Amino acid sequence: MIINLKMKDNKEEKPYFSVVVPVYNEEGNLKELDNEIKEVMDELGKAYEIIYINDGSRDNSLNELKKLKDVKIIELNRNYGQATALDCGFKSAKGEIVISMDSDLQNDPKDIPRLLKKLKDENLDVVAGWRRKRKDKAGIKILTKTGKFLRRVLIKDVVHDTGCTLRVYKREAVKSLDLQGEMHRYILALLNWKGFKIGELETNHRPRVHGETKYGYSKAVRGFIDLLYIWFIQKYSQRPLHVFGYLSVFSFIIGTLTGLWSLYDRIFNGLSLNRNGWFFLSIFLGLASILFFSFGIIIDLLIKIHLNTSHYEQRYHIRTIIDTNRSRSDLDED
């Protein structure tokens, strides 16, 4: 099950490093990428596994992956997106240190040793790559800048580059994550919030040569919704009642004031209540106040139930897991 180029006999050895690589329509990049990764990892002199997650590629990526030696291929049954692919790889990683990177050759595996050194020297939990000189199109850069601004307002970002997949993590950090949607961009914010120590290091970024970027403009919208979700979760997942409690109290106070005002109008100006707009507003706000409070309690309970049961829910399905260093009967699922 464990892949290690240096393995002499058939004894299974626990890998020290897990390299996790999501793949979606990257047929032209995989062979070269695999060579580059192995070249760097071999030099580190410790057992390692390489996990490719084929995220429902529609091109020839799966066949290209099967040609590679000593790798683990997890084949998802459809395309779920980069965050889910990463999640799947993280969950099956067995190493003490987990390394994640893109499969489009834009990240440079040669940066891995420097990232690892920083992780160790400064005793961090994560070291993230920082693509200071990005080789992407102008439109994407503007989108990135806007996203960055929103993130700064809503959640506290700890590094310059939240989108660089090239990172090294301690095992505990990745195992604490549960990613979906466009959440890969908020991994560091989540980890920071959970108290993990994060560092960053400038890394090389190369232009894409084969295949196309999957980061379209529609993803920005989904990314924004995920950002709001994370903001909410970070701020109030412990006590959602607090958010709704504020709203409830606020409505109650304004409702009481407008109610008193309409009574004043009734007594001193002779304006009957059923002709006074303030009176209706106060009734509306009174009801809203009750509703907000009830929502708060319901959501509070739902979150408690969710936290207790969510790990039983399967968000994605794995078709097969293939170890290419194994012979014929290698289609096992675990």
User: What residues make contact with ligand UDP under the rule CB under 6 A?
Assistant: 22-24, 26, 55, 79, 81-82, 85, 102-104, 106, 213-215
Least separation in angstroms between residue 105's CB and Mg ion is: 8
Please report how close the Cβ of residue 136 comes to Mg ion at its closest, in angstroms. 8
The answer to whether 180 and 315 have CB atoms below 8 angstroms apart is: yes
Nearest approach, Cβ of residue 293 and ligand UDP (Å): 41
Of ligand UDP, Mg ion, none, which one does residue 215 interact with (CB within 5 to 8 Å by kind)?
ligand UDP
By C-alpha distance, which of 234, 273, 249 is closest to 156?
Answer: 234
Nearer to ligand UDP, 26 or 49 (CB): 26
Handedness of CA 285, 287, 290, 296 (dihedral sign): negative
User: Between residues 81 and 259, which has the closer beta carbon with respect to ligand UDP?
Assistant: 81
Q: Which residue has the tokens 């959501």?
A: 299
Q: Which is nearer to Mg ion, 105 or 227 (CB)?
A: 105
- Should residue 4 be labelled a site residue for Mg ion when binding is judged by CB under 5 A? no
Whether the Cβ atoms of residue 215 and residue 141 lie closer than 8 Å to each other: no
User: For residue 179, which phi and psi values (nearest 5 degrees)?
Assistant: -105, 145
Helices (H), the chain: 30-44, 61-66, 82-92, 112-121, 138-154, 171-175, 187-193, 218-236, 240-268, 277-309
Residue 46 or 208: which CB sits closer to Mg ion? Answer: 208
Give least dist CB 107 to ligand UDP, A. 9
Q: Which does 300 bind (CB under 5 to 8 A by kind): ligand UDP, Mg ion, none?
A: none
Quote the least distance from Cβ 76 to ligand UDP, whole Å. 9
Instruction: Verify binding: residue 104, Mg ion, rule CB under 5 A.
Output: yes
Whole-angstrom Cα distance, residue 20 to residue 8? 23
Distance CA 289, CA 249 (A): 7
| Dihedral sign of CA atoms 68, 74, 79, 84 in order | negative
> If we measure between CA atoms, which residue out of 272, 120, 268, 147 comes closest to residue 215?
147
Q: How far is the CB of 22 from ligand UDP (least distance, A)?
A: 3
By CB under 5 A, tell whether 106 contacts Mg ion: yes
- Residue 23: contacted member of ligand UDP, Mg ion, none (CB under 5 to 8 Å, by partner type): ligand UDP
Nearer to ligand UDP, 163 or 296 (CB): 163
Residue 24 interacting partner from Mg ion, ligand UDP, none (CB closer than 5 to 8 Å by kind): ligand UDP
Contact set with Mg ion (CB under 5 A): 102, 104, 106
